Structure 1
Amino acid sequence: MTINRALSAACMLAIYAAGGNMAQAADDDIRVSLKLFGKEDIEQGIDRCRFSLWQGDRDPNADRYAFLFHANAANNGYQGPARVKIGETVYALSRLAEGGESINGLASQYFYATEDREIRVHIEFNDVGLSGELYRIKDADMTVIQKGKVPFVASAKGHLGCLQPPAQSAKATPVREPETQVPGPPNGIPIGRQTILDDMSQLPPEAVQLVRESAGDECDVDGFHAWGGARYVINDYYLLWEVPCISAAYQAATALVVTQNPPQGWGNLLTLPNPPGKDGETYQAMNADILGPKGFIRSTSLNRGVGDCGSYRVHRLIDAPGEVLELELLEFREKSECDGIEMAPEDWPLIFQAY
């Protein structure tokens, strides 16, 4: 959706409508209670590709609380869900429009809102530089609008785009063979599109019970979780379920259960094998990313919130003896040194590869 002066006018009308009588609101001290948050407060972690804004006089790498707004890449469109924090509540917003005068090929104005339009955010770039795939936002204004309150305007800096992995060095050297010498990983059984569940009551009882009984040492299935899980159609005979396992400050895990399609009381809790030399297997798919057409399940376990160390796994869904399904480990990468060097998990040092 392209917007120019119309967007600015619309946003100003929204501000006045949301704020009502500005002078009266100021007298009543009714103001948007916008709060800063840190990397550790972003449940799914910060992607290499993201749209982030922080307070202009703060440094997100040095200050615990610096961020005003954050959205990881969604279909390469940065459409959301974005997040802002007002008071003690974190709000999820979707992008409604973008446009305005272009700066270095980038639209200069963006408009986000919650589904009920209770919270609206207008972002305007004033100065933007381009470095590789990353736009460095040198100066921006962010206006947060909440019904019945005086809008909050903040001066911001930020990033929009993808950070490049750092150059190879003795401190952090990605281990990756030339593409021409390494065949691609074999595909697994295709997995259908994700269907997000409204709450955990929509999960099959047998799936939840399997996690509770067999993975209770790893998963707190009865604890608080920010989402209800997900369902995937494998074929006419099987469904795959993501059952919330743990929810932490900057990452979350799910357990993976296969049931009949539709569920009929039977379930199979999938284990994620570890590479040779690492004990056993796990039920936790940390920050799971399911690549359905290829049948891959990628999981990334972060050792700390800034995301500069941890382990990265790629499994594929395969047939197993006895007409059941299981996961096979294709790739394992690990960056054990938390050195502040930010790079994509798929570029961490390679420990194991099965293709």
Structure 2
Amino acid sequence: MHLKSLFGLLAFAVALLPVPTAADDANEIDLKLFGENVIQGWDGCRFALWQNNRDPSEDRYAYVFFAPIPDGEALPGWVKIGDDVIEISRLDIGSADTGMLEPFRLYRDPDARLTVMMEILEQTRTDDGIEVTDGRLTFLRNDKFPFAIRVKGLNGCPGAGADEAAMAPASSGLSLGAPVGYDSLSAVPAPVLRAIAADAPQCEPQATAGYSSAYAINTEVTLWEVPCNLYAASGSSVFAVTWAGYPDHATILPFPAPPGMGMNDDAELLNASVDPASGSVTSYSLDSGGDCGSFSRFQLVDAEGETVEFVLREFREKTLCDGVQSDPAGFPLVYQNP
């Protein structure tokens, strides 16, 4: 055999040899699954992803990513590599504008040594929140090979539907007196306007026509609906409570967001409509074409500390803008707390 051909054959054979195991180990990301050893018994709302062939309710170690959501705001997430639990935070602040999770997210640790790319491939809504039925996490670390893992997960509150339904009898609704209309902001108590300026500064009652209604909750407490902002095809309101025994005090009542959807509570309510007999307030928001959007129904209830608050009873959403207009109250049901 010609010497040059022999060298070529040897070189080809060497190329087929496996890379030594030690070299592989040195360049691989040592990703670990985790469970209670990391989440420390957190049983509240969370954004959690686990290996797609495992179940955190049955397997001791299943999670790949876990971020608690106390008070509706997600904290940085945790991943485990080797013996280290690493905190990673979102870099992007975009929105899917669909009420669902963004299809792509990016996370990084404080030292910028670990980057995690999150792909949400399939997702659906359940009573507990947004269920990720298929996703992929790709881990990138300095001087390491990229490591990808297929995942499932939940962005929401496990057992939320059952828990909320069980709590409903403890928060029965309040009826209201007949609406008492007013046609000028001069009729609104000064403490209400001060509370709006302090707690809902995005609202500009002075830029509206200044008319709305007030409702007696009882002889001592009054609910005020105050016009907030005017938009091209809609208007918004804020709601405040005053007490006869505290003439210098007023409280803005926020409207809670549906659990597990990454939305924040808001003081401003679009296209509000009050039903005094049931003490409920409905709201809807439509896309510019009027064929998709959301619908919410809130209930005024007694709250701890001799005050009142709104609870979310129903949230509906139509995300497909198909050109067919319909009553927002008939949109697909996403969340219900009867």
Q: Which TM bucket (shorter chain)?
A: 0.3 to 0.5
**TM-score (norm: length of structure 1):** 0.45
Q: Which one has a larger percent helix, Structure 1 or Structure 2?
A: 2
Structure (1 or 2) with the larger CA radius of gyration: 2
**TM-score (norm: length of structure 2):** 0.48
